[in-house]
Amino acid sequence: MKILKLIFRNTFRHKLRTFLTILGIAIAVIAFGLMRTVVSAWYAGVDASSANRLITRQAVSFIFPLPYSYRDKIARINGVEKVTYANWFQGVYIDKNQFFPRLAVDADTYLDVYPEFLLSKKELDTFKKERNSCVIGADIAKQYKLKLGDVMTIDGDIYPGTWEFVVRGIYKPKFKSTDATQMLFHWKYLDETMKKSSPGRAGKIGWFIVKIKDPNQSAEISSEIDGLFKNSTAETKSETERAFQQGFLASTSAIITAMNFISFVIIGIIMLVLGNTMIMSARERTREYAVMKTLGFSGKHLIWLIMGESLLISIIGGGIGLLFVFPIVAGFAEVIPKGFFPIFRIVPITIILSASLAILIGIASAIFPIQRALKTKIVDGFRFVG
């Protein structure tokens, strides 16, 4: 009990220095938590990928289309349960800063392949019947205050023209990792318009989504799909949904890796700050430690005193940082357009890492001061002037 009192008193002996150190640790934990949240949000699509879904795209590049006629051939492959497709539409809604995925899909099968998009039967039936209808995610509906029956007007860029879609469904995410920021509408509506305005672009889709019965057969089925269209004018590349998502993010991997690295550099810097604080404290108390040794305090007592002080500072700073990181991340989630980071939330591993690193910093920062206190002889301690 006496040791605990000494730890507390020593910690707050220099209130300003202790306060600034705690503040520095708290800011570092907040910065670490925010950067790690950005990294985890960037890979949210990868984590949400299903093991029983394959993506078949154009072999040269994702931006090149595939013939719609490939669908029936893929569906006949053994092990394939269902085939659907999608086409990247994009366009401009309100202004160019309002980004979220806008896809032309097969209304009859798309939501069967993506059961994590929860839509009522009534809304689904209405969506299937109306060619110019659309389904939007709950986050998009909330962000733009949209409700059933509202009209979304989109200015086409990839597909020129003014497009009007009636909101007939608002899907909810089944899991926390499910993207609730997409807009889905009829591919047939897009195709019919292209037949009139740009016949050469009709009958083309962006990619196929293949639902398979056994995820363990993904490699074999992927090879068989690609084999069907080998040496054709539009060869394919099939891969798991996870691999597809990872490939889609490959161009930004250097940026994300850098952010990941910087987040740990921040922790390293604050460890040096706390280490410096502890070294200064130990240096100032050299004579005190000599007196304590004279009075019978063992090395174990000194270890507890120094380690306890370092841990107390780091735990308080880490706790304050973790307390504030939640509202700060929530604030960023409200400001950032939903389409950029559909899932922007603190994941458990970020909390575990932040708490663990705060404790590790406290332990690591105390090592050098402890060695100094234990190695300094009593006589040298009394002679020390600092």
Q: Do 105 and 226 fall within a single domain?
A: yes
Query: pTM (2 decimals)?
Result: 0.72
**Is 138 part of any domain?**
yes
In a domain, 238, yes or no: no
Pick from 184, 202, 233: which residue ends a domain? 233
How many domains, the chain?
2
Q: Are residues 300 and 168 in the same domain?
A: no
Q: 250: pLDDT confidence band, cut at 50, 70 and 90?
A: low
Angle at the Cα of 184 (from 181 to 187), degrees rounded to 5? 155
Same domain, yes or no: 99 and 9: no
Beta carbons within 8 Å of 15's beta carbon, 6+ residues apart: none
Integer Cα distance of 105 and 88 in angstroms: 9
| Boundary residue ending a domain (203, 233, 263) | 233
- Considering the domain architecture, whether residues 259 and 297 belong to the same structural domain is answered as yes
Q: Distance from CA of residue 273 to its chain's centroid? A: 29
pLDDT tens digits, 350-375: 888 888 888 888 888 888 888 877 77
Q: Tell me which residue has tokens 């700073």.
A: 317
Which residue reads 């019965």 in tokens?
213
DSSP string, 150-169: -EEEEEETTTTEEEEEEEEE
In a domain, 29, yes or no: yes
Residue 242 lies in a domain: no
Neighbour count for residue 357 (Cβ, 10 Å): 24
Q: Are residues 141 and 200 in the same domain?
A: yes
Same-domain check for residues 139 and 264: no
Q: How many CA atoms lie within 13 A of 287 on its CB side?
A: 6
194-210 pLDDT per residue, tens: 988 888 888 999 999 99
Residues 295 and 219 in one domain: no
User: pLDDT exceeding 70 applies to what percent of the chain?
Assistant: 91
Q: Are residues 79 and 223 in the same domain?
A: yes
Residue 76: what pLDDT?
93
pLDDT attached to residue 275 = 76
Q: Identify whether 36 is part of a domain.
A: yes
pLDDT at residue 146 in the model: 94
Let me know if residue 244 belongs to a domain: no
The residue segments making up the domain with residue 198 are 65-233
CA angle 134, 137, 138 (to 5 degrees): 125
8 Å CB contact between 119 and 135: yes
Classify residue 170: in a domain, yes or no: yes
Within 8 A by CB and 6+ apart from 130, the residues are 166, 168
Specify whether 171 is located in the same domain as 144: yes
pLDDT of residue 37: 85
- Final residue of a structural domain among 233, 260, 281: 233
Asked whether residue 12 is domain-assigned, the answer is: yes
For residue 68, report the phi and psi dihedrals to the nearest 5 degrees.
Answer: -60, -30
Same structural domain, 276 and 319: yes
Which has more confidence, 323 or 373? 323
Q: pLDDT digits over 134-173, tens only?
A: 999 999 999 899 999 999 999 988 898 899 999 999 999 9
Q: Domain check: are 227 and 324 in the same one?
A: no
- In sequence order, the β-bridge partners of residue 161 are 156
- Residue 385 clears pLDDT 70, i.e. is over it: no
Please give the single-letter amino acid code of residue 5: K
Q: Comparing C-alpha atoms, which of 242, 244, 240, 187 is closest to residue 214?
A: 240
Amino acid at 194: M
74 and 162 in one domain? yes
CA distance 194 to 202: 5
